[in-house]
Amino acid sequence: MSKISVNGKAQELETSISITELIKLNNVAQPEMVSIQLNGQFVNREDFDSTKVSDGDELDFLYFMGGGQNSYQLIVEGD
């Protein structure tokens, strides 16, 4: 069991998983729309599969957001 935080909120993981799996677990409908910071460092998208999340890790999921006029749906789920 490992305890991590995602966007400041605690999460518990039963097993060691990759960032790709963590994105799935968090129901991010469009993974291509999220940037990930792991302990303050950006993770290259190519490394999402190979990067494992460990106990104590702090992750930030940053989403694309449009703007003033005709913002369209980019992220779904969750909030």
Partner 1 sequence: MDFTEEQIQRYSRHILLQDVGVEGQEKINNGKVLIVGAGGLGAPIALYLAAAGVGTIGIIDGDVVDLSNLQRQIIHFTPDVNKPKVISAKEKINLINPDVKVITYQKLLTAENALEIIQDYDFIVDGTDNFPVKFLINDACVIAKKPFSHGGILRFDGQTLTYVPGSACYRCLFHSPPPPNAVPTCSQAGVLGAIAGMLGTIQAAEVLKYLTGVGDLLTNRLLTFNAKTMEFRTVHTKHNDNCPVCGNHPTVNGLVDYEQAVCDIESHRKNK
Distance CA 5, CA 40 (A): 12
Chain-centroid distance, C-alpha 41: 13
Strand partners, 17: 53
**Which CB atom, from 2 or from 7, has the smaller least distance to partner 1?**
7
**Which CB atom, from 14 or from 46, has the smaller least distance to partner 1?**
46
Examine residue 49 and tell whether it contacts partner 1 (CB under 8 A): no
Examine residue 40 and tell whether it contacts partner 1 (CB under 8 A): yes
Among 26, 30, 48, 51, contact with partner 1 (rule: CB under 8 A): 30
Distance CA 37, CA 77 (A): 20
Examine residue 75 and tell whether it contacts partner 1 (CB under 8 A): yes
